[in-house]
Structure 1
Amino acid sequence: MKLRQKILLLAVAPLAVAMLGIALAVRHQATALVRHERGLVEAAYLQSKETELRHYVELAQSAIAPLVRAGRDDAAARQAAMAALARLDYGPDGYFFLYDMQGRNLMHPRQPELVGQDLWELRDPQGVPTIQRLIATARAGGGAVRYLWKKPSSQQLAPKLGYVVAVPEWGWMLGTGIYLDDVEETLRQLDARAETDIRETMAWIGVIAAISILLVAAGGLALNISEHREADAKLRQLAQRVVQSQEEERARLSRDLHDGVSQLLVSVKLLLETAANRLRQAPAQAEVVVPVLDTTLVRLDAAFNEVRRVSRNLRPALLDDLGLLAALRHLAREMADESGLAIDVALEGTPRPLADEQATALFRIAQEALTNVARHAHARRVGVTLSFLPAHTCLAVRDDGSGFDVARMQSDPRRGIGLRNLRERVAALGGHFDLASGPGGTWLCATLPLAPDSPARMPA
């Protein structure tokens, strides 16, 4: 996986994880809130229905109160009370019922077949006694009871909320109730609506997450395109620099050959022609030709030295034969002879084998640095230090010259080409190039990492 893809993944993955965490947290909180609201709605609804049922029971008690308070306990009074209660119905499933305290049904307007039956042992499908609980609640002072009972309108068992009280004068249990299946259906609809809302919220979170991820990916793509364009521009600029450097090197070689070797060879040619003419004119006077030939030999020797100098500048033989340190010392002696600089070459650490490209790069850096010092620095002394560190090889060059503005030099595309070439040469080998300059002089350091596959050639 490429570095840009890894960076994009590192940007997208936390966002996706964060959005997933938010979605899970929102779903958990929403579910808990729905459950809480459902409980509140159910409790409030049951409380209101319990109050309503209590009012119904109080109304039924007031309807039979004159008969009860009259002190009559005959069958006619009780039948009159039952008739009055049977007429007090409300809706298809709203009615009053009567039981004695032994569980025998006395009145049931919707299920007359139960009248007279002993229902004390009646239990619901879960085995919970129904009538016993109602009678126990009535004896305790009255109250609400939840139980299962057959709904008259549907003939199906349904949850019911009843409210019962005792009529102690006649040994009765009076009660009424409402069926809760409609309430549970309403609560189920509420749950379904809440689940739909949660799913819609999750969908919105998913859409937002997808849009966010797409935006991040689009930003990464745009950045990638921008980096590609910038890299292409730098590559074109580097290619132009390479071409420019090649042309400058060719121009320098042309000047060296024209100004040095060519002129010396032309001079030798003229001297040989002069000697040949003199021999032809005076064959017996050889002593006249000897000085000319001596001068010719001197010129030939100078031409050979010039050729060796040009060849050495192209690729010093010492670098291949004796190593980097010997090549640096020889370069320092030549530069000292030509420029008058005092150049010191120092070694730090234990020498070790260097790869050819590393040795060549460090030599060229020293060569370029010393040439710049000789031409521009107005320095008196230069120190060259080759350091073999445990993980790196460093070449440092320090002079006591006038220095220069590094930032201005690097920002000017027409200046500092040599320094930029050195920096790029070091970067191509995975190293670091540091440069500092001021009124007290200039310091540069090229640091290259170890090359495990370097040849076993020890620098001298």
Structure 2
Amino acid sequence: MQLRLKIFLLSIVPMSLALGSVILTVRHQTLKLARQERDLVESTYLASREAELRAYVKLAQSSIAPLVKDVSTPGRQAEAMAILARLEYGKDGYFFVYDMDGNNLMHPRQPELVGKNLRNLKDPFGDSPIQNLLAATRNGGGIVRYYWEKPSSHQVAFKLGYVEPVLPWGWMLGTGLYLDDIEQALKSIDAQAQLNIRETQVRMYAIAIVSIILIGLAGLALNISDNKESSAKLRHLAQRVVHSQEEERVRVARELHDGIVQVLVSSKFFLETAQLQLENRLEGLKGQLPPVQIISPLKRGLERLSEALIEVRRISHALRPALLDDFGLGPAIEVLTNEVREQCSFNLRFATSGEPCALPLSQSTALFRISQETLTNAKLHSGAANVLVELIYHRRHVSLSIKDDGKGFDVRQIQTDHKSGIGLRNMRERMEGLGGTLKIYSDGKGTQVHASLKTSPEHLHLKKQDYARDDSPHPGG
């Protein structure tokens, strides 16, 4: 795993864990606050309803109090129950009366219950609401929570009741409020809490995603910056390698020219002098020794020495052509094509167009080396019948195109094969080191190598010798 990826993961993972912890904490705290709010609303609501029920029962007690005091007059209980039956509040607010044995004496909303003993009545959960109401009444009255059928919906609902005794008549007077409205309010609070949690989670997820994207973009920017810096370093290194190669070529060419070539030339001179002297002496020894047996090996040796001298000069010229330094890129490539034409069988043409301009020595050298490598490949591998070399000077750049009609090759395979295609990689590295481009097209109909280098405007106004000048002696001769 790359160091940059490790750093990226080390920044993303802790942040993701931290955001996850924050989200869980916020969710927990939101649920806790929602429960507290629910409990507070429920307790406040019940307290207000309990006070309201007490007030209603006190009002009912005061409305029948004169009748309760007048126990001597017959029919006062019936008159009192009639008054209580008319007392209503809200949609399902009414009063009910039971005796202490559990017999229903008055129920304005469920008259079918009047006269029935409901002491042992059970609710759907197995509890006895009337017994609980009677127990609270015997203790002087109080709040009782139970389930009872709601008159408006005919559904069993949770009810909050309040009862008080009417002692002179042995009654249980009570009323109640159904709590389905508070259940709706509590459900609304729970739903709002869940909505708040979801919205908070969405915001937190959005923040997390944005943060991860920002970190990713920062890492990408850093990666791009590092890649640019690495590319710049590689180009600089490639330039140094190419420069070192050219310096070494110049040194080797100089050594060949000043060393081996001079030795071969002097050796040839001495051998030719010896040959001339030997021929003069053999003129006076005619008939004693056939001259051919003595002169012929010496001539063959001189011929081989001349061939060696020519080969060394050719190698020296190929390592660093003096023509490139003295006359520029165009003439050097033209001489190169003439030399290759003499060595191969295909039709080789060279053409140049545009206004020639002086190029920096590094650029002219790179294009010349590409010409050498491409023509060598065409000679050895292409099997072409025609090869065209074009050197074109544009206003802002110079381009070199070499095209043949040979059998071509698989460019992708050559580029990915580290054991072959070294020459192509060297050409590409040369161009990339100088900020140029190298494009290679190849198929069954032939191959084309296109190299292009930008030229600065000031290059057009400088003298050629400012670029071709070399402080070291030029090999050649």
**Where do residues 185-224 of structure 1 align in structure 2 (5 Å cutoff)?**
185-224=184-223
Cα distance in 1 between the residues matched to 2:165 and 2:55: 15
**Where do residues 40-79 of structure 1 align in structure 2 (5 Å cutoff)?**
40-70=40-70, 72=71, 75-79=74-78
CA positional deviation for 1:193: 2.4
CA-to-aligned-CA distance 1:211-258 (integer Å, 9 cap, x gap): 222222222222222222222211111100101111222333345555
**Where do residues 42-121 of structure 1 align in structure 2 (5 Å cutoff)?**
42-70=42-70, 72=71, 75-121=74-120
**Where do residues 293-332 of structure 1 align in structure 2 (5 Å cutoff)?**
none
Cα distance in 2 between the residues matched to 1:220 and 1:77: 93
Cα distance in 2 between the residues matched to 1:74 and 1:138: 26
**Where do residues 12-411 of structure 1 align in structure 2 (5 Å cutoff)?**
12-70=12-70, 72=71, 75-257=74-256
Q: Residue 271 and residue 87 in structure 1: after superposition, are their counterparts in 2 closer, same or farther (change >3 A)?
A: same
Where 1:157 maps in the other structure, the secondary structure is: strand
Cα distance in 1 between the residues matched to 2:58 and 2:213: 67
Partner AA of 1:143 in structure 2: G
Cα distance in 2 between the residues matched to 1:75 and 1:37: 54
CA positional deviation for 1:184: 0.9
Cα distance in 1 between the residues matched to 2:47 and 2:247: 99
Cα distance in 2 between the residues matched to 1:140 and 1:262: 135
**Where do residues 409-424 of structure 1 align in structure 2 (5 Å cutoff)?**
none
Q: Is the 8 A contact 1:67 1:81 kept in 2?
A: yes
Cα distance in 2 between the residues matched to 1:4 and 1:109: 83
Cα distance in 2 between the residues matched to 1:266 and 1:12: 74
Cα distance in 1 between the residues matched to 2:157 and 2:31: 27
| Higher RCO (CA-CA < 8 Å; seq separation 6+) | 2
CA positional deviation for 1:92: 2.7
CA-to-aligned-CA distance 1:260-294 (integer Å, 9 cap, x gap): 556666677777788889999999xxxxxxxxxxx
Cα distance in 2 between the residues matched to 1:92 and 1:278: 149
Q: Is the 8 A contact 1:95 1:110 kept in 2?
A: yes
Provide the identity percentage. 58
CA positional deviation for 1:109: 1.2
Cα distance in 2 between the residues matched to 1:75 and 1:237: 123
- The residue number in structure 1 matching 2:345 is none
Cα distance in 1 between the residues matched to 2:279 and 2:95: 160
Where 2:164 maps in the other structure, the secondary structure is: strand
C-alpha RMSD over aligned residues: 2.8
Q: Residue 86 and residue 58 in structure 1: after superposition, are their counterparts in 2 closer, same or farther (change >3 A)?
A: same
Partner AA of 1:251 in structure 2: V
Partner AA of 1:151 in structure 2: K
Partner AA of 1:127 in structure 2: G
Cα distance in 2 between the residues matched to 1:231 and 1:28: 49
> What are the ranges of 5 or more consecutive residues in structure 1 without an aligned counterpart?
284-460
Cα distance in 2 between the residues matched to 1:260 and 1:141: 134
CA positional deviation for 1:87: 2.1
Q: Is the 8 A contact 1:144 1:164 kept in 2?
A: yes
Q: Is the 8 A contact 1:88 1:95 kept in 2?
A: yes
Partner AA of 1:63 in structure 2: S
CA positional deviation for 1:138: 1.7
Where 1:175 maps in the other structure, the secondary structure is: strand
Cα distance in 2 between the residues matched to 1:281 and 1:112: 165
Partner AA of 1:229 in structure 2: K
Partner AA of 2:154 in structure 1: Q
> What are the ranges of 5 or more consecutive residues in structure 2 without an aligned counterpart?
283-477
Cα distance in 1 between the residues matched to 2:232 and 2:73: 115
Q: Is the 8 A contact 1:73 1:170 kept in 2?
A: no
Aligned residues: 282
Q: Give the TM-score, by structure 2 length.
A: 0.53
Partner AA of 1:166 in structure 2: P
Where 1:169 maps in the other structure, the secondary structure is: helix
